[in-house]
Structure 1
Amino acid sequence: MIKVRISQIFSHAAEDVVAAKKELDTGASFEDMVQKYSTCPSKSQQGDLGWMPEGNAESLLGSKVSEDQKGEILGPIHSPYGYHILKVSDLEIERIEGPVKLEMEMSFLNEIFPDAHSLLFKNFHIGLPIEGYPKGETLANICKVHNKSELEVLNFLNQAFSDKNVATLSVEALKEKLSSGATVSLLDIREGWERDIAKIEGSLLITRDNNEEILSSLPKDREIVLIDWKQDRSPNFQKWLAQRGFTQAKCLEGGIDAWAEKADTRLSRYDIDEDDGYRYEDILEEPEDHSH
């Protein structure tokens, strides 16, 4: 995952943005052009729009983001709001937490994640020696020998491990835990109207507005159970939590629908017609409005 910092020159007048681009092409500084031409409130911060997630940045730039784009200037770009010249001011690769570590021996990596070797070959052209890796050979050493970015390889393997190993908890197991008074946090990741129809008592509705507050109050090793409709979104949210260091997040098997069927039949069950344009509220990333 890449975190991106973007600055912009913005104007409703196309001629101003074109003039700014011409001066940039002749060596003018981006910051000077911000002060000269931009009408965006970010002008007071040299055009800085701040850090944003990779997906938001790609939506703004209109293309995929890569590590070598730092300092790149794009535009003019026409949007519904006006005309932009965008600069990729900075890039930062975020570490994805997981079981794979740089100091881990390759033999042990194979034990916990047998797919690792084939993935390394497919994505980084790092082959497995015919005689196998010698004792003491670590992932860090392999990255160095093959001239690969340690963080890129580490993030890739931990993401692949997370994708393959989504933890779940059955309705019966959750019911037993709640009956015994076990310490478990129930996070409801559905929309408010769904929760109004059916909810598990003691669960918390987590949204874009309150997710930081809720997660900051939970120990990283707390057992967390994610509640959605039919376990259709919780795997992605579980992976997102794992990337942030929460090691015991699990998906409720079958979601609230299975809970209403097997554990609490008093609850109403409901359907969602995907053809009606329904989509979940995006808890993970909230696009920033730079519309002026």
Structure 2
Amino acid sequence: MLLGDSKLLLGDVVNWAQGRAGRTVGFVLDTRVPRVLAALLAGVALALAGTLVQAVTRNPLAEPGVLGVSGGAALGAVLLVTSVPAAGSWSVAGAAFAGAGISSVVVFGLAARGGFQQNRLVLVGFGFATGAAALISLLIVLTDPFNATKALTWLSGSTYGRTLPDVAPLAAVLTVGVLVAVMRRTELDLVSLDEDTPRLLGLALSRGRLGFLVLSVLLSATAVAAAGTIGFVGLVAPHAARALVGRQHVRVVPVAMLLGAVLVCTADLVGRTVIAPAQLGAGLMTAVIGTPYFLHLLMRGRR
């Protein structure tokens, strides 16, 4: 919160929290604090969603985008931005959430026949995400250049202009998600093992998978609605957490959430300072970090 186009001191933050900051410092922190909170909470939500998706699919290269949720949310937001240019931030967030909901219904409906098996779920989700990306490109090409700029800014994962009310839904969903992940951590360990062990222990595998997937959809949808499209966090954070603390989710979940928060907040910080006063979206910065790591995972997997 101290760094940006305007540099602040820790005492400025203390005075702002106590309501004794000057007009300039107050304006800077009134706009900066919500976007820092949005970056932190979005990173935590995407990391938790990625942990759930990788456990259910038993695929260390899976992330929320694989389910088509991020693509559906982006399609809903871009559709509204290009058709209703005067739409506000809450309307765009609602359109993103609606797009994520519709995409999840389609993907889960097509994958349900196989009991949400990992290969079918990943293939259906990847196909939907590819189709959503094609439709987004078509909308941007056909729309007015001003609307296209707004859509591309949102797609870059920008936290610009966020307010505390924009962050509140994400905080509420994240609280529920953390509680569920902690309470059902043993079931999450079993689901991530194989097909037979959970059934031998009396676990309804399809219902358990569906529950974790629905939770991951809610987390991803609210994160995208609050901070735009931010990729690779759901891939990098869980994988790095398992490399640090092992595979038991009682340790993986908190470490992954911490890494996700640090990654997105750092990306947002770099994006608003490296070319200040101009800004780069946090999603662009996470892609710069995540792409080499993704290629590293692929190469190590081949070896």
Q: If the TM-score is normalised by the length of the shorter chain, which range does it land in?
A: under 0.3
Structure index of larger Rg: 1
Name whichever structure is richer in strand by fraction.
1
Higher RCO by CA contacts (8 Å cutoff, separation 6 or greater): 2
